[in-house]
Structure 1
Amino acid sequence: MKLSLLLPLSLLGTLASAAPYPLVHTDSLHCRASPSTTSKIVKTYTGSADIKISCQTYGESIKGNRIWDKTSDGCYVADYYVKTGSSGFVAPQCPGGGGGGTSSNVPGPRGDDYLFRSSCGGVDPWNYYKCQCTSFVAQRINKRLGVAFTNRYKGAAWGNANTWDEAARRTGVKINSTPKPGCVAQTNAGRYGHVAWVSAVNGDTVVIEEYNWVKREGYSTRTVARSAFNYIHLTSST
């Protein structure tokens, strides 16, 4: 895997543009109390409105886009309807993961849901290079566990995959040899190590989902011996 990018936390906020964003695909847009179309409507914007984004998070999928934008009014709109010029985040992750993980999406469906699979290169919202194993797993942690994980989670430098085990121990995140669906598989093997998402556990084997291993900068699944990895257990309480 590629060397990770380690930037100061203060630079994460520069992803957001100070300019407001126009609406697209709609004549009006409801702004809701949480990132879901079933949530309470707080206010409604006209189609000519410009939206100021304070932070972004994941929520209900709208036309294949799971990103929701928290506006300066303190409510959420589906990013599909906001013309940000990007298919990814343009603002910092909302504290606490916003509409984060639930029991229904842990470990979640097996498949390539990686947001940047068509735009490899550059830096993702979690301060990792896109299409690397660390970026894919960082997205799963944020999207499915509801944990606002970044390369600087809990003030530690998580860095490349081969230092995630050390960072977990330094920050009090549970790490052991016992896999559970929805945890992170981690190994120090290779130049930069490797991390993957545990999709299922079957006796002495685990099914993992990963990026940049079998396929360069691409998605794959494997069934491997559970002894091949350490297992990092991130939760919203850690």
Structure 2
Amino acid sequence: MVAKVGRTPVTRADVALWLQTHEGAGAVEGALDAVVERTLLVEKAREDEFLKDPEVAARVEAARREVIANAYLDRVARETSTEESLSARYEARREGLARREVHVAHIVVRLAMGADRRARAEAQAKINAAHARIVSGADFAAVARELSEDTVTGALGGDLGLVREGQVDARFFGAVVALKPGEVSEPFETDFGLHVARALEAPRTVLPTFQEVRGQMAAEARHEAEEMLMRRLREDIPVRRYPERLSGVVGTKKAEGEQ
């Protein structure tokens, strides 16, 4: 106990939780002061029998329910997301985790979603002109520096570096992974605009490291554990529903001034 407010003790755990859940809470002493202030309000609420108000009691129970449920799920997640279990999941999933990647350069002409016919025609003419210059012998990098509307890669001669399957637009990856080294694509469209691309290397298949996909493995393990837990709970704990008693329940707050 680090303080006592009326009948209520304030513990080190209370202060630690305040620091964890309040960004920028500051020093420990300040957190203690904040917890004491909130506890003073709770003491006065008890004195005024405020917790007997049905709406307040429902809010208290809802908060309690959420805290307990989430804490229990966190414990389940920890039990199913040990380094050993995640490593075993990774080994079992190795083949399915493999992804193709390719080193590619591109030229892009921006085209807004829903662009009108004139804007589309102008963008198409620009990307067609870039493509024509390249197939006629112009240096791809020089054309990219001159015409690409992706200023970052344009300054690098269009070089996007390695692009990996699943991490870029699917239409873009599908177009570039089919190219042979040095081959230039026909103009194609994605949500980002119109492109001409050039493969700088042959595609290769890579396996992400455990650390690269650890978060994904942990999320999958937690999701599976939660689903399994809920199935078991529905089987083990009887539940009765009374939907006919929901008449009059309001799901959203009324706007200010609304009758």
TM-score grouping bracket, smaller chain normalisation: under 0.3
| Normalised TM-score (structure 2) | 0.19
| Normalised TM-score (structure 1) | 0.20
Which structure shows the higher helix fraction? 2
Which structure shows the higher strand fraction? 1
Question: Which structure carries more relative contact order (alpha carbon 8 Å, separation 6+)?
Answer: 2
Larger radius of gyration: 2
